[in-house]
A and B are shown apart, each in its own frame.
Chain A
């Protein structure tokens, strides 16, 4: 039911909860029945009624036990006959920062006292979890703790021994540590949720005074939704497939119209960057076992060409099913589902076209649609939607990840660079230096027009001039792309040299300032000399034309070992380097042999 999927209208759900419940119970869905005990540290009635709706909407019919007001500790630690008889399948401990009874109060609390209070407070909760584990051995869903809205001491509150935010943050770390090392224990991250919604909106002091609600009733649907995502995931009710449109969903532009060279993907433009980030985000789901599929109105050939774009994060092999044709999308989704042996209700469909989303909603209402209005909104909707909530990571996985984390910490502590080149080595840089390939020409033109600082001649080119140079037999063209362990920096350096007789004249040498001091210029120089030698060129002339902005490269050719030929009063200079006897200067950047096309 669309009303019950993020983003939803909380007020409408609260107001219409009876009608929604009736509609869900009468929709003919077969649901698994589960007993869910909600042990609350504050009034939990709304939490229960909202949880019911969201679980019903995920194929689970819950039967609830609700502890008496603020009796979560007693019920769990000492037990109650009602709870024993109820035999919960899951226990949800709905507590909040209101239940942190040992929060430091006094201004002169010492660090040691704060630590002791933290230990005691944590023990209250760990007793609860152990009590439940011993009695029922069932999964436990536990809220972590939200930050308070009020900070008596301002920013100091987050680190002072008597600070509440400091205490809460440390409790949350302890909860996370416990969750990582105990199976069957899941955190409902209300610390994130309250931040995402905004603490101003989350908190409602009057709701506490009036009803003992620990948050505004208007955000209870969000809290319950989040808990419901965990519960349905535990019972294997997650979605399984992300089915994606291509044009203006995985890249900017329409590949059929704009051609592979015309679509926007990669680090070269803001739009291209946004789609790269989106593709990386989607690929991350694949790592967690979510299947990816394509559903696009396109000629298959064009769709595949787009996915093979040198900057595309996702390639054709990342998808288990690619439907690129002119059939209706609902029939394509159904066909993919049939091929994979899945039901359409395990599909999440993402498309930028609201009309396509509307068709799917009408024809295949069991498919979850996410309309991509912007990449950021889509990533948020996809994650807050909780369609792929992760709850099952095996014990071995837990151990392994902990081991990795420890090793990483060790490495981080040990790592001290003895020299700058050590540091550069550690970046694991790879450069791909090529001719001006058509797909990069737009970016090359753009760089010639916006680079001012690391630019020796500041010569501007139009796209047609770049085309012309690209076709010229008298020019050496270098286009450098740099990647490092943190990612792809994209095209960062351009060199154009005109050859005449046995000489080459560097008409353009520029580099993006985002890769300053990485020795990329040395890698470019090595490549330039190599290309000159291939052509039998014996001398390379470099030109520095002074502008108000490019003083940082006034000494570049000198640092390269060029000899001065001429220095003008206006600051311009001409330099020369014999190619004979030149030895490669770059030692930290490796050649990138990967193929991007």
Chain B
């Protein structure tokens, strides 16, 4: 799967999880850019991304991701 496809599907997950159809994520998007992206929603986001792509983040990754770009990199690395 190419990066564009990953971003497109990731964007769908973000829109569902935060209930906001105007969200458009980029590699630079961080939790500061989305109002409801707190530590609790982060858990739900991670779970939803994992189930969307059929993969699992490692513990260090969950707490260490700085922005959406890193999330995409990890997803692509897992060969999804």
Contact = CB atoms under 8 A, between A and B. Distances in A.
Interface string A187-224: 00000000000000000001001110100011000000
B19 A18 contact: yes
Contacts of A15: 13, 16-17, 44, 48, 51
Nearest to A218: B47
B51 A206 contact: no
A394 interface: no
A11 B40 contact: no
Interface in B54-69: 59, 62-63
Interface residues of A, number: 17
Interface string B19-31: 1000000000000
A217 B59 CA distance: 15
B43 A46 contact: yes
Contacts of A218: 47, 51
Contacts of A19: 16, 19
A14 B59 contact: no
A206 B13 contact: no
A14 B19 contact: no
A18 B18 contact: yes
A588 to B, nearest CB: 61
Which of A46, A210, A213: most chain B Cβ within 10 A? A210
Interface residues of B, number: 14
Contacts of A45: 40, 43
A210 B59 contact: yes
B47 A14 contact: yes
A15 B49 CA distance: 9
B51 A11 contact: yes
Interface string B29-43: 000000000001001
A12 to B, nearest CB: 9
Contact of B16 (A16, A210, A213, A217): A16
A217 B47 contact: yes
A217 B13 contact: no
Contacts of B43: 45-46, 210-211, 213, 217
B19 A217 contact: no
B48 A14 contact: yes
Contacts of B51: 11, 15, 218
Given A45-B40, A209-B59, A210-B63, A22 B19 contact: yes
Nearest to B17: A15
A206 B40 CA distance: 15
B44 A14 contact: yes
B48 A11 contact: yes
B46 to A, nearest CB: 9
Contacts of A46: 40, 43-44
A45 B38 CA distance: 12
Contacts of A11: 47-48, 51
Given A46-B43, A206-B59, A218-B51, 10 more contacts: A11-B51, A14-B44, A15-B13, A15-B16, A16-B16, A18-B19, A45-B43, A210-B59, A217-B44, A217-B47
17 contacts: A11-B47, A14-B48, A15-B13, A15-B17, A15-B44, A16-B16, A18-B16, A18-B17, A18-B18, A19-B19, A22-B19, A46-B40, A46-B43, A206-B59, A211-B43, A217-B43, A218-B47
Complex A-B, nearest 5 residue pairs according to Cβ-Cβ distance, in ascending order: A18-B19, A15-B48, A11-B51, A45-B40, A15-B16
